Amino acid sequence: MTNIAVFASGTGSNFDALAEAIDRNEVDAEISLLVSDKPSSKVVDKAKERGIEVLSFHPGDFNGKAGYEQVILGACQEHNIEWIVLAGYMRLVGTTLLTPFEGRIINIHPSLLPAFPGKNAVGQALEAGVKVTGVTVHLVDEGMDTGPIIDQQAIRIEEEDTEEDVQQRIQQVEHVLYPEVVGRLVKGEATKHDKAGITERF
């Protein structure tokens, strides 16, 4: 059984999707730790309801990123975490975590990266007038949504779509794609594409 940590700060719909896929034995892993930089977020309550250990904190209480990431690292080591799964954790990960977890941190982003990185990816896509957007799962590096891509799925944007419509369809895709990718990762069956276009299994 692989121990994973989910980092999240939002409503936790991706956390739910992953936890439910684990309950159905579709993913051979356990969410052993939930890390959140928003102690009042819904995902924190959801994790507590499931009896999952929660580490939540206010970043402002620490002396910079290295300060709180050192605490996170300690908790990850204590729980023998093998993979860190970002699901709506809206902060850049620093070297304190990236170095010991190199190639072991993934993120889900609501666009077809490298298009529309950062915040409000759905709004950015609508603003740009694209007809296709989607979801990307990628390895995390020091950049903003820049790491090697593991998987992507596209959705169409229709003429009459509101931002909410697109957001909803994006999340439907995320809730299937993310558990699938985590399932492959823990079995050692995922592949990544680097910037030179080389596909590698890891």
156 annotated as ligand-binding: no
Which one of residues 27, 85, 121, 157 is an interface residue with ligand GAR (CB under 6 A)? 121
Q: Per the structure block, which two tokens stand in for 54?
A: 């929660």
One residue of 38, 46, 104, 109 binding ligand GAR per CB under 6 A = 109
Nearer to ligand GAR, 37 or 174 (CB): 174
DSSP 138-178: EE--SSSS-SPEEEEEEEE--TT--HHHHHHHHHHHHHHHH
For ligand GAR, how many residues bind (rule: CB under 6 A)? 16
d(CA 198, CA 45): 41
Q: Is the peptide bond before 117 cis (omega within 30 degrees of 0)?
A: no
Question: 90: annotated binding-site residue?
Answer: yes
109 is catalytic: yes
Q: Name the region of 120 (left: φ>0; alpha: ψ -120 to 50; beta: rest).
A: left
- Nearest by Cα to 182 from 83, 92, 35: 83
| Nearer residue to ligand GAR within complex by CB, 96 or 111 | 111
CB of 173 to ligand GAR, least distance (A): 10
Residue tagged active-site, from 58, 79, 109, 138: 109
**Residue numbering of the annotated binding site for (6R)-10-formyltetrahydrofolate:** 65, 90-93, 107
The catalytic residue positions are 109
Query: Which residues contribute to the site for ligand GAR (CB under 6 A)?
Result: 8, 10-14, 43, 87-88, 108-110, 121, 145, 171, 174
